Structure 1
Amino acid sequence: MSGLDMQVAQKVLDSQPFSGLVGARITAFGGGAATLEVDIRQELQQQNGFVHGGVLSYAADNSITFAAGTTLGPAVLTGGFSIQYIRPATGRTLIARATVVHTGRRQAVVRCDLFAAADDGAEALCAVAQGTVLSARTQ
């Protein structure tokens, strides 16, 4: 049991200055999963009007780490992750849904699907990421 709940998770996210800068929020948390959402706005886009790849990477990294925190506990660090961009992200909201694939004693492997949601709520898959999260607990 991680000892974390949705309210504590949101406080942790709110304590991250960069998360505040992009306006991230946690909309689901627990049971080996976490969902992070970011409203798409002009400041987060690249020159062609698509969400910047760095914003997608941020959302993947953070949702992966939060999902792992539900199984490993609150003291976790990203060990590494990869992301594959499928299509440009446009719309109203960027949604990063992360799910733990496997948890061991000291690390978790997590998958994240990133969607761009349109005004009507329709979601388009725009990237897929996978990461390894390490427990930062002292041994």
Structure 2
Amino acid sequence: MKEIKFPFLDHIGAVLIRCENGEAEVELKTQPYHLQHLGFVHGGVISTLMDNTGWYAAVSNLAEGYTSVTMEIKINYLKPASGKTLKAVAAVKRQGRSTSFVTIELFDEEKLVAFATGTYAVLEDKSK
């Protein structure tokens, strides 16, 4: 697994489970601060998990010296999430020289609650 740290996910309590060969998995044990006013997981938490899991899938396919950023993400919220554990699973469907197209599914206790597609730009990593 490619070692990639993302401090924001640590901040919200998410854990990278897997990141390799164009696939990624991120898990979150929900806490009261992840919930909205009706007691369901906030849509912003769901979108954050899905976008970052898609990003991990995209960068797992890239050569050393390259990174990625989100160009576009479309999320379909299928039903409210209210379980103790959320798991986002992403897979690269098409990898090009300048973009990656990724699908992401979000599960609440094994039930699909959201589906997303994301496009991620491939860039030279000049931060190193």
Q: Partners of 1:22 and 1:38 in 2: how far apart? A: 8
Q: Partners of 1:102 and 1:20 in 2: how far apart? A: 28
Query: Which structure: greater strand fraction?
Result: 2
Specify the alignment match of 1:80 in structure 2.
Answer: 72
Instruction: Give aligned-pair identity as a percent.
Output: 34
Q: Which moved more, 1:65-74 or 1:24-33?
A: 65-74
Residue aligned with 1:65, SS: helix
In structure 1, give the amino acid aligned to 2:83. G
**Per-residue deviation, 1:70:** 1.2
In structure 1, give the amino acid aligned to 2:94. H
Q: Partners of 2:61 and 2:98 in 1: how far apart? A: 10
Q: Given the alignment of the two structures, is residue 91 of structure 1 paired with residue 83 of structure 2, yes or no?
A: yes
Residues 71-113 of structure 1: CA deviation (Å, up to 9, x unaligned): 1345111111010000001111111100000001111000000
**Per-residue deviation, 1:45:** 0.3
In structure 2, give the amino acid aligned to 1:89. A
* Aligned residue pairs, count: 123
TM-score by length of 1: 0.84
Specify the alignment match of 1:70 in structure 2.
Answer: 60
Q: Partners of 2:10 and 2:26 in 1: how far apart? A: 13
Q: Partners of 2:37 and 2:85 in 1: how far apart? A: 18
Residue aligned with 1:19, SS: helix
Specify the alignment match of 1:120 in structure 2.
Answer: none
Query: Which structure: greater helix fraction?
Result: 1
Q: Partners of 1:34 and 1:19 in 2: how far apart? A: 14
Residues 22-50 of structure 1: CA deviation (Å, up to 9, x unaligned): 10111111011000111111110001111
Residue aligned with 1:129, SS: strand
1:1-139 alignment, distance < 5 Å = 5-6=1-2, 8-9=3-4, 12-13=5-6, 16=7, 18-73=8-63, 74-117=66-109, 123-137=110-124
Q: Partners of 2:62 and 2:49 in 1: how far apart? A: 20
TM-score by length of 2: 0.91
Q: Partners of 1:87 and 1:94 in 2: how far apart? A: 13
Query: Structure 2 unaligned runs (5+)?
Result: none
